[in-house]
Amino acid sequence: MKQNGTTSATQLSKLLKELPTISLDEIGDAHFASGSDTPLREDAFDITDERKIELIEKHFREIMLIMGLDLTDDSLAGTPKRVAKMYVKEIFSGLNPSLKPKPTLFENKYKYGEMLVEKNIQFYSNCEHHFVPIYGLAHVAYISSGKVIGLSKINRIVQYFSKRPQVQERLTVQIVEELKLMLDTQDVAIVMDAKHLCVSSRGVQDTASSTITAHYSGKFKEEKTKDEFLAHIYQSASR
Ligand SMILES: [Zn+2]
């Protein structure tokens, strides 16, 4: 499958077999991210969204002016406000914990005890180092401990954490940690396969590569369960 230019099915299955799971320690030491929590200031929500939009508009206008753009031009005049609203209300709205999706859990009445895989969840995020898009697919699985989550909630959790300035490694861990809490189980897994525009549209300008991260928890650390999960992804990816 070539969806949004992400990794092909054959490459994916091969890579996933060898991919180590990410631990929080590794992220702290070996990656650029500083931990699994998004680094937020203590006063992050002391001002309202409306005030944030006003301030960002003002500063974005300055950035455009410094770059030499003529803001009296019709096409540019509304851009600072548009960008400010988009930052606060859309692409970085996941910074606000009050917008975190509330879990709707159901009793596992049908006693379904196998893994559930929600595959090919399209997500859009932004690299926190360059503020340009990261986009790709997330594949999530869990084994019910007695609670079942509404399927769309898994997508919403992925979208919520994507709507922050991110690094893919942290995003991967944040989604799993949230689902573990919501579902009251350790048995959660995720694979994320994404394009980074900071790699493809600038810098090394590599348009072919994609970045795969994975996080396996509980039973998904066992070879058999992990293989079954990866087989589901492989099947979906080759369709
Ligand atoms: Zn970047």
Q: What is the pLDDT of residue 2?
A: 40
Q: What is the predicted pLDDT for the residue at 235? A: 78
Q: Give me 77's structure tokens.
A: 């005049």
**How far, in Å, from the CA of 106 to the mean position of ligand 1?**
39
* DSSP per-residue codes, 170-217: HHHHHHHHHHHHHHT-S-EEEEEEEEEHHHHSSTT---S--EEEEEE-
Given this model, what pLDDT does residue 229 score? 97
CA dihedral sign of residues 173, 177, 178, 184: positive
**Cα 163 to Cα 158: distance, rounded to the nearest angstrom:** 9
Tell me, yes or no, if 139 is annotated catalytic.
Answer: no
Q: Which residue, chain included where needed, has tokens 């455009």?
A: 64
Q: Which residues contact 145 (CB under 8 A, 6 or more apart)?
A: 183, 184, 185, 187
Q: Is 129 a catalytic residue?
A: yes
The answer to whether residue 127 is catalytic is yes
Fill in the DSSP letter of residue 4: T
Report pLDDT for 35.
63
pLDDT given for residue 182 in this prediction: 92
The separation between the first and the last C-alpha atoms of the chain, rounded to the nearest angstrom, is 7
**Ordered per-residue pLDDT tens for the chain, 239 residues:** 344 445 555 666 666 665 555 544 444 333 344 568 999 999 999 999 999 999 999 999 999 999 999 999 999 999 999 999 999 999 999 999 999 998 888 887 777 788 999 999 999 999 999 999 999 999 999 999 888 888 899 999 999 999 999 999 999 999 999 999 999 999 999 999 999 999 888 888 888 889 999 999 999 999 999 999 999 998 745 44
Ligand 1 center to residue 127 CA distance, Å?
5
Q: How far is the CA of 3 from the centre of ligand 1 (A)?
A: 21
The model's pTM is 0.83
